Structure 1
Amino acid sequence: MTKHAPGAVAPTAARAYDLTSGRTLLQHLEHWSTQRASQDALVFLRDVAQPATYGRMAWQGLAETVDVLRRRLATAGISDQAGTFVALPNCPLLISLWLAVPGNGGIVQVMDPDAGRLAFERVLVATQPLLAIASTANGPIIAEAIRRTGVPTELVVTPEEALWDPTGALADHRLGTLPLQDPTAEMIAGRLPTSGTSGRQKLVELTHRNYVMSGERMARNSGFTSEDRHYLCSPFFHTNAQLYLCAPPLVTGGSISVVPRFSATHYFSAARWTGSTVSSMVAPPMRMALHKAMDAAGPVDPGQLRLIQYGMNLSRSDWDAWDELVPGVQTRQIYGQTESVTGVLGGAVWETDDRATIGRPFLGVDEVRLVAQDGSDARDGEPGELWVRGIPGETLMLGYHADPQETGRTIVDGCWLRTGDVMVRRSDGRFEFRGRAMHIIRRGGENLSTYALELDLQACPLVNDVAITAQEDPTLDAVVVAHVIPGAAWSENGFLAWCREHLGKRGVPDLVRVHAEFPRTGSGRVLARELK
C-alpha cells in the first residue's frame, strides 16, 4: 500500500498523445460545414409541447451563422479572452454564440436565464464581461444588475424571433471587415459553474482543448457516431449540456436536438418528435420524467431514443417501473465532474448496466486513485476519495476563475484532481458511488451516506421524493433529517414504520421535515444547503 505524503511534489502528468491534436471548437465546425454541409447540425422545437414548432439548421448554415456572429462580436470588442455573458434559453442562437464567442478568442459565460438579479450581479462582478446577451424576458433584470454593479458591460436584448433565426441577432453591430483572428487550443473558451448544491458556487475555466477532449472521450467511450442525435434538454449553463451533449457531435459530425427547457411531461414525446437517439441526464429529472409517464398510465413511445447515460441513480422500484415502460431504451451510468471536464468512469458499450456500480475508468483517463482518510490507497471494498490524474487545461479543468488558492487545494501537485466523492472499488474493477465526502453523516459512531439513504427512502410508496441532510447533535455528533415531499397516502407514522420494516433501525431518520417542493439546481439536483 502506498502513501501520498502531504506536500510531496509528484511529477506532473506527461502528455503521451494529445487526443485533441490542437484543434479548436471553430476548426471542428468548419470541418463539418464542408464534410456534411447539407446534413442536420441542429433540429429544434420552439415549444417543447408542440411538434409543429419543429425547425432545423444544417452544418453549412450553422457555420455561416457563426461567421456572421463572429464579425458582429468583433465590433463589440469580443476577442483576446474578453468575456461575454449569455442568459438565453436553449435555442439555435445560444448554440451559435457558444461557438462564435470562443471562435473569436473570447470567453463565453452562460447563465441560467431565470436566475435572479443577485445571481446576475455576482457573475458580472466576478467576470467583468464586455457584453451581456439577454432575452426580452430577462433583459430588464440584467439591465438593473448592470446598473447596480457599475460594471461597464454592454447589454444586447435579443428579440424572440432571433433566438430561433440567429442571423438577426446583434443586428445593431455592423459586420467587421478586418480578418478575424482564430483562437488557439490553449485559450479559455468558457466558464462553467459548479453545482453549488452544498457550498459556494465556483466558476470552472475550460480551454478549447478541454471541450474537444470531452467530445473525443465521450464519443469514443460511448460509441457515438455521425448518425446519433444528442437530446439537449438540460440547461445549457450545466456541464451536462455543453460537455456531455454538445461537444460529442462536434467531434463526430452528429446532430443536436434542442428544446428550450426540460419538461418531465414531454421528455419522451419531445425526444420522439426531434428524432433524438441519445440523452444524458442526472437521476432527479430522469425520475421526474419516469413518474410523469407512470401517471399518464399509457404506452410510452420514445421514438428512436436508444441510450440514456445518467449520473447518480434511481431506486430499485423506479428501475422496475422503467424497465416496464421503456424496455428498449438502454441505460448506462457514468461519472464525471465539471472539474474533471467529462466522464471519468463508466461501463463499456457492450456491458449491461447493473444499476448498482458506475463502471471502470474510461479510456483516455491517465490514472485514478481511491485515497483513504490516512492518505493511503484504499483496498478493494474500502471507501476512499476518488482522485483523478490529468493535465490542467486539457484532461482536467484549467482552474477556478480568480481563485488560485482553491484551485491549488483541488488540483494537488499540479496533476491530481481531488473530486471530494467517496467511492468503493470492487474486486472486478468497477466503482460504486457512496456520496460526497461532505455528505457522509457520522451518527453515534456509524457512517451513513446521504446518497444511499435517499435512494432507499425514495422507494417508499408514501412519498414523492426524499432528500437527506444532517443536524448537529451534542450526543450523537449528528442526526439524520429526512426532507419529504409527501404522496397522496402520506403519514409520518406510516413513513417511519415503512423505514423500520424495510431498512431496519439504521435506516430510520431521526427527524422528518415536510416540503411542498425542493429547491433545485438547473439540472434538477436538490440544493441541500438551502434545505437546512
Structure 2
Amino acid sequence: MLTHGQGTTLRDLWDDLAAHHGEDPFLVFEDAAGLVVEHTYAQFAGLVTRTANLFASLGVGRGDAVAVHLRNCPELVMCMFGLTSIGAVMVPLHPRSTRAECAEIIERVGARVVVCEPDGLDDLAVTPGSDGPLHVILARSTTPVPGTVAFERARDAQSDQLTCRVRLTSQDTAGIVFTSGTTARPKGVVLTHANLVGSGVFVDWQADLRSADRLLTTMPACHVNFQLNALMPVLTAGATLVMLERYSASTFWAQVCRHDATVVQSIAMIVRTMLMQPEQAWERDNRVREVLYYLPITDEEKVAFEERFATRILNSYGTSETLVGVLTDPPHGERRWPSIGRVGPGYEARIADADGRELPVGAVGEIQVRGVPGRTLMKEYFDDPAATAAAFGPDGWMRTGDLGHRDADGWFYFVERSTHLIKRSGESVSPAEVEAALAHHPGICESAVVGVPDPVHDQAVKAYVVPVVGAHLTAADVQEHCRALLADFKVPTVVEIVPSLPHTSSYKVEKSRLG
C-alpha cells in the first residue's frame, strides 16, 4: 500500500501509482455485451493525462465544473482524474436521470462542457453545433456526430505530458455528487481531493485491501459508493478494480468467479436476487473473502448467502456526506450481526436526542457522526450554506437523520430512518422530489409519497394522489407524467387514488398513517 499524507492530491496519487505500480493491472472493465478491456496503471495514467489536456484545450480550468453523463465505463474514470489533474471538478449525472433533472444540475453548477454517450444527447437536451454554452464531448461512439468532440480521437491527439500543471491543494474541490435528500431539490455533496484519498485509505483498512486484491463492483459510477468505496481504495492500495457496466443476476456470480474477485461490493437487492438464481456446482469455488454490504437484509438471507457462496458479509453504515461506512465491522476479530459495526478510525459516533444530547446505552436516538469537513466528511453542500450548517450542527456533529442505538461495547444498531427517504435498490429517492413532480400535474390536487416494503428492491415508491374535482385520473396517467420528469427509479411503482389525505392539526400530511 502506498503512503499518502493529508496533503496528497489526486494528481500526486496518480504520479505515485505510475512510478511504483506502472506494470500492475489497474482496471478490468466488462461491458454489457461481455467484452473485456484491461489497463495497467501506466497505461491508464497516460490516458488520464491526455484526457486532462483535452479538457484544457476546450478552455476548462481550475474550479470549472464539467458534467459527465456516462454509464459505468473507463471513460468516466478518465474524465474524473483528467479533470482533477487540472484543478477542475467532475459533476456526474445519473445515466437514468431525465432531461429536466440533468438540465437543472448543469445550470446550477454552471457547466460549459458535458461528456455523454450518443443516447445521452436527448437526455441532456443538447443540440450539437447550437449556439448554446456547452461543448459536447461524445464518448463511446463509433459514428461522428456533427457539432460534438469525439472523445477517443481528441484524447489520443493530445500530448502524454500534462500541458496545464496548475498548483493544487488537497482541499481543492474534486467533485460534486448530487444526492436525493429530504428536500425536493437534490443536494450537491462537495468532495475534496483529501476526501477521495482519505476514503481510499479508510476502506483499505476496513477491507484489509492489498495490492494483490481484485475488487469487483457493479455500483453506478456516478455514486459515492463507487467512487469512494471501490475506485479510491483500489488506487490507494495499488490493487485492481473489476468494473462491470451493469448488474445482471443471471451472470453476476460467474463474473465474480471468472475475474478472480477477492472483494465484492453488494447491496440488499444483489443478495436477494442472487439467492433467487438456480444453484450451480461451481458457486463456492471462488476467491471472495469479503462482500462489502450496506443494510438491510434478514438474518436468514445473510446466513443463506454466506453458506451458499462460501464467503462472508462485512456490514457497515454510512451516507454520502460521511463518504464511507463510518460504522463498520472490523477487518479482523469479532463481528456482531445485526450490528452495523463500531466507529472506524478518524471518526466519532454517538446516539443523540432531538436536542443534541448524547443518549445512554440502549436508548434509541439519531445516529450522529463527527469528523473533519473536507477530509473525513464532505466539505459542504454546493451553494447551500444553510443546509450545510443544518447538517453539521453548531457542535460539529453531523445529523444523519437515521435512528439507532448502541450497546455497552460500542457496537451500533440501525433501527429505522427518521427521515422519509426511500431506499430502492441502492438508490435514494426523496419523497419531496416526487411530490414536487406530481404537483405539476394539472389533475392532481394533493399528493403524498412514502416508501413501502418490497421483497426484492428494499422499498417501493408509493404515491397517494388526490385528484382535482372533476378530473379523471388513473395510476397509469400519474406514472406517465412522472416518467417525463424523474429518473425511472423515482417513478412511483404503486399509485393509489384517494379522496383525501390525513392531516395533522398544523395541516401537514400525516404520513405515519400511510404506507
Give the TM-score of the pair, scaled to structure 1.
Answer: 0.74
Residues 378-421 of structure 1: CA deviation (Å, up to 9, x unaligned): 11110111221122111111111111111111111273211111
For 1:307, give the aligned amino acid.
E
Match of 1:210 in 2: 195
- Given candidates 170, 175, 183, the residue that maps to 2:154 is 170
Contact 2:350 2:368 in 1 (8 A): yes
For 2:411, give the aligned amino acid.
R
Give matches, 1:267-282, under 5 Å.
267-282=252-267
Match of 2:124 in 1: 142
Identity in percent: 24
Match of 1:388 in 2: 369
For 1:127 and 1:373, locate their aligned partners in 2 and report how far apart those are by CA, in whole Å.
33
Give matches, 1:133-532, under 5 Å.
133-144=115-126, 152-160=133-141, 168=152, 170-171=154-155, 178-196=163-181, 200-291=185-276, 293=277, 295=278, 299-301=282-284, 303-326=286-309, 328-365=310-347, 367-413=348-394, 415-439=396-420, 482=452
1:388 alignment partner, SS class: strand
Unmatched runs of 5 consecutive residues or more in structure 1: 1-17, 441-449, 455-466, 470-477, 487-512
For 1:371, give the aligned amino acid.
A
Q: Kindly state the Cα deviation for residue 285 of structure 1 after the two structures are TM-superposed.
A: 3.0
Q: Kindly state the Cα deviation for residue 106 of structure 1 after the two structures are TM-superposed.
A: 0.3
Q: Which portions of structure 1, spanning 4 or more consecutive aligned residues, are displaced by more than 6 angstroms?
A: 145-148
Q: Kindly state the Cα deviation for residue 264 of structure 1 after the two structures are TM-superposed.
A: 2.1
Residues 450-507 of structure 1: CA deviation (Å, up to 9, x unaligned): 99xx9xxxxxxxxxxxx9x9xxxxxxxx9x9855579xxxxxxxxxxxxxxxxxxxxx
Contact 2:234 2:241 in 1 (8 A): yes
- Stretch of structure 1 that moved more, 312-321 or 96-105: 312-321
Match of 2:107 in 1: 125
Contact 1:299 1:325 in 2 (8 A): no
For 1:43, give the aligned amino acid.
V
Match of 2:45 in 1: 63
Q: Kindly state the Cα deviation for residue 94 of structure 1 after the two structures are TM-superposed.
A: 1.3
Residues 341-366 of structure 1: CA deviation (Å, up to 9, x unaligned): 2221111112354431111100121x
For 2:4 and 2:158, locate their aligned partners in 1 and report how far apart those are by CA, in whole Å.
38
For 1:201 and 1:259, locate their aligned partners in 2 and report how far apart those are by CA, in whole Å.
27
Distance 1:177 1:110, change over 3 A: closer
Residues 310-350 of structure 1: CA deviation (Å, up to 9, x unaligned): 11121233223213311x21211011111112221111112
Unmatched runs of 5 consecutive residues or more in structure 2: 144-149, 432-447, 457-474, 496-515
2:383 alignment partner, SS class: coil
For 2:381, give the aligned amino acid.
Y
For 1:115 and 1:344, locate their aligned partners in 2 and report how far apart those are by CA, in whole Å.
28
For 1:337, give the aligned amino acid.
T
For 1:153 and 1:172, locate their aligned partners in 2 and report how far apart those are by CA, in whole Å.
22
For 2:287, give the aligned amino acid.
Q
